Amino acid sequence: MNLKIALLAGDGIGPEVIDQAVKVSNAIAEKFNHNIEWTPALTGAAAIDAVGEPYPDETHDICQAADAVLFGAIGHPRFDNDPSAKVRPEQGLLKMRQKLGLFANVRPTFTFPSLIDKSPLKRERIEGTDLIILRELTGGVYFGDRGRKDGGDTAFDTMTYQRFEVERLARKGFEMALKRGKKLCCVDKANVLEASRLWRETVQALEKEYPEVEVTYEFVDAVAMRLIQWPKGYDVIITANLFGDILTDEASVISGSMGLMPSSSVGSEVSLYEPIHGSYPQAAGKDIANPLATVLSAAMMFEDFDLKEEAEAIRSVVNKSLAEGVVTEDLADGGKAYKTSEVGDWLATNI
């Protein structure tokens, strides 16, 4: 297969972890006889510095021309706590999601046998957790009208959803559930929000098309609790942009390490793959960041190209590295801490 992949390394540890995913993907390509053409492009603070824009048009063109986008992380502390900054790296992220139409963020949550005791949660609560949160990514309060009134003393943001946005995401949720545990949970705040009532209505109307899927409706506050109390109770969760932002990060706690959790953001034309962790600026340039989340995001990419064996090969070499203790300092637990690049090399060699 010939694959054209746009490579958006971004800020902080982004470039370092992306490098390892490239190494591993190239090893896969060699082993399975694929041809990957990587096209790097600027994004985030790096792009602001270079061209004054966190998601330049050129980057967008590269992404659109690609079969997939592999993404590192964006964000830089110099923009935090500065309410007056006009251009922020995060705007690039949002613009990218919107312009590429990445409407569904897919975040699997699972545990790693060799790491289960790293979780702040007790083993018996989490062992065997296998859930996916499907977060709507191009709508809701992220993209509604916002501004100030009363000379700046009143601020407002608008949470809006259209039926087709909910339906599109919900269908994806139903289809994923069909291939998995056949349970779908719609998470909202329908006892307060009109947008949530539209969500509920829309999902309810789809239920009859997927009679095999058992659908439940839960309030986001209750789910924030139950996700920790009993994550094994969930299979596929669908939820709005803002709720998904909160719940996916919360769910990442279950596995015990953010440094391991991959994600994909699905669009109608191109999809994007990225680790769920951020740009972690304190570690940037030190060759200490954990590359596994990015490597596993590449596995999700191969999976979506229907290259299941390739995806599985990545997952199994990752598990092997964990079992053999070839890990970065965040997972070293007093043992030897490998460098980011060493872990990448080891994985590529062992593919």
Ligand X SMILES: CC(C)[C@H](C(=O)O)[C@@H](O)C(=O)O
Q: Indicate whether 191 belongs to the interface with ligand X (CB under 6 A).
A: yes
Contact 38, 5 (CB under 8 A): yes
- Catalytic annotation present for 221: yes
Binding mask 171-190 for ligand X (x = CB under 6 A): --------------------
Is 107 among the annotated ligand-binding positions? yes
Q: Indicate whether 144 belongs to the interface with its own copies (CB under 8 A).
A: yes
Q: Six-digit token pair at 106?
A: 């897919």
Q: Indicate whether 93 belongs to the interface with ligand X (CB under 6 A).
A: yes
Type of residue numbered 175: E
d(C-alpha 204, C-alpha 210), whole Å: 11
Q: Six-digit token pair at 192?
A: 């307060």
Is 123 among the annotated ligand-binding positions? no
Measured between alpha carbons, how far is residue 239 from residues 165, 168, 220, 275, 329 in Å?
Answer: 11, 12, 9, 20, 34
Contact 71, 271 (CB under 8 A): no
Q: Indicate whether 78 belongs to the interface with its own copies (CB under 8 A).
A: no
Type of residue numbered 186: C
Region 216-235 residues binding ligand X, contact defined as CB under 6 A: 221
Nearer to ligand X by C-beta: 172 or 189?
189
Sign of CA dihedral 96, 98, 103, 107: positive
Q: Indicate whether 245 belongs to the interface with ligand X (CB under 6 A).
A: yes
φ, ψ of residue 10 in degrees (nearest 5): 75, -145
Collapsing DSSP to helix, strand or coil, 311 comes out as: helix
Q: Rounded to the nearest whole angstrom, what is the least distance from the CB of residue 69 to its own copies in the complex?
A: 21
Candidate residues 52, 120, 211, 334; the one interacting with its own copies per rule CB under 8 A: 120
Residue with tokens 């790296």: 89
The catalytically annotated residue of 95, 182, 245, 287 is 245
Q: Six-digit token pair at 168?
A: 């599109």
Q: Six-digit token pair at 152?
A: 């700046």
Candidate residues 87, 94, 178, 337; the one interacting with its own copies per rule CB under 8 A: 94
- Catalytic annotation present for 333: no
Q: Which residues contact 201 (CB under 8 A, 6 or more apart)?
A: none
Q: Indicate whether 35 belongs to the interface with its own copies (CB under 8 A).
A: no
Q: Which residues are catalytic?
A: 142, 189, 221, 245, 249
Residues near its own copies, by CB under 8 A: 80-81, 83, 88, 90, 94, 120-122, 125, 141-142, 144, 146-148, 150, 153-164, 189-195, 197-198, 200-201, 204, 217, 220-222, 224-225, 228-230, 242-243, 245-250, 252-253, 258
Residues marked as binding for Mg(2+)? Answer: 221, 245, 249
Residues near ligand X, by CB under 6 A: 90, 93, 191-192, 221, 245
Residues marked as binding for substrate? Answer: 97, 107, 135, 221
